[in-house]
């Protein structure tokens, strides 16, 4: 099967219509992929999405097994290891229903070991697997400019490229299955440090009674500039945290990174500190807020 086999009119299954998955699916629809979709927890946005795309090109399915019927590829974008396991191998899972020669493109962020285990089980059925976690937030998902971090064979990557080029602005291949997840762990360590640093900088400036929007404007194009400063300082200044990426999911991702570091005999003190801060915020009921809610861990001015 070649990359062209994944283009319309071949149908594409998509499971997971959350904050990232929904705009990714919308971009695939706009690119001409007929979709069979399933979401584990129905969102308020799903009905307008299905109404907009129309039943002729997008079909809602009651289970992952139903979603993959007649499809040559399945895109996954779910919350964690347990969700991937359930979608593929739980009751009415897709794993046993996927046709031989098809491909799973897993955009979820999970542990490298789980990715490798999923690939091995699917290979027994003649199904390929790529771990393709993404980064870029809801902004990147809506714009189709996500960075896609890939692990898997060259052949499977080539087959998936029409899909990946639709959801992502840049696609990077790092090696065998699991390597994409390893790079995503590195990414989340960087995100942890940058968000925490912006939160502390905002808190300091506010306590010094500085004109903080002016400060941000002055600093974001210099050596202190970062994606977090540019895109999340406004949320921290207003103390309002609309969802870009759930704090609870980032906390899960940091757990994966810390486990990888432990296995490598490495201590990550900054990451561990942010992990603890996130746990405190989750205990305070902020697990569904954006990661920029880390500002709440510091006192107001």
Q: Which of 65, 58, 71, 54 is nearest to 17 (CA)?
A: 58
13: which strand partners?
36, 74
| 3-class DSSP state of 171 | strand
Cross-sheet strand order for the sheet of 11-15: 58-60, 35-38, 11-15, 71-76, 103-106, 128-131
Q: Give the integer Cα–Cα distance in Å for 188 and 152.
A: 21
User: Active-site positions?
Assistant: 184
Cβ-contact 5, 159 below 8 angstroms: yes
Query: How far is the CA of 285 from the CAs of 31, 154, 289, in angstroms?
Result: 38, 43, 9
| 3-class DSSP state of 73 | strand
Q: Give the integer Cα–Cα distance in Å for 150 and 178.
A: 8
The phi-psi region of residue 275 (left if phi > 0; otherwise alpha if psi is between -120 and 50; otherwise beta) is: alpha
**Tokens read off for 105:** 């493109």
249's CB contacts (< 8 A; 6+ apart) are 79, 80, 109
Query: How far is the CA of 277 from the CAs of 65, 101, 196, 280, 285, in angstroms?
Result: 39, 45, 9, 5, 13
């Amino acid at each position: 099967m070649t990359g062209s086999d994944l283009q319309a009119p071949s149908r594409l299954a998509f499971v997971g219509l959350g904050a990232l998955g929904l705009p990714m699916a919308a971009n695939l629809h706009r690119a001409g992929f007929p979709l069979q979709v399933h979401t584990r927890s129905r969102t308020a946005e799903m009905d307008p999405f299905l109404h907009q795309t129309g039943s002729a090109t997008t079909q809602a399915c009651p289970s992952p097994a139903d979603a993959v019927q007649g499809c040559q590829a399945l895109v996954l974008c779910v919350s964690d290891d347990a969700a991937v396991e359930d979608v593929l191998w739980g009751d009415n899972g897709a794993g046993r229903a996927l046709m031989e020669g098809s491909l799973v493109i897993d955009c979820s962020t999970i542990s490298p070991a789980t990715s490798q285990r999923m690939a091995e089980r699917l290979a027994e059925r003649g199904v390929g697997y790529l771990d393709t976690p993404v980064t870029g937030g809801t902004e990147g998902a809506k714009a189709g400019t996500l960075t896609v971090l890939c692990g898997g064979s060259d052949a499977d990557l080539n087959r998936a490229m029409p899909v990946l080029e639709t959801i992502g602005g840049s696609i990077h291949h790092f090696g065998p299955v699991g390597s994409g997840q390893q790079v995503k762990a590195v990414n989340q360590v960087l995100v942890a440090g940058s968000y925490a640093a912006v939160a502390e900088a905002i808190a300091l400036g506010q306590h010094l009674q500085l004109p903080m929007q002016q400060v941000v404007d002055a600093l974001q194009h210099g050596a202190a500039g970062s994606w977090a400063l540019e895109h999340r300082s406004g949320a921290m200044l207003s103390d309002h945290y609309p969802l870009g990426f759930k704090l609870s999911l980032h906390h899960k991702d940091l757990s994966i990174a810390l486990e990888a570091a432990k296995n490598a005999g490495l201590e990550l003190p900054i990451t561990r500190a942010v992990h603890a801060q996130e746990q405190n915020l989750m205990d305070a009921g902020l697990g569904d807020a954006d990661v920029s809610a880390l500002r709440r861990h510091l006192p107001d001015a």
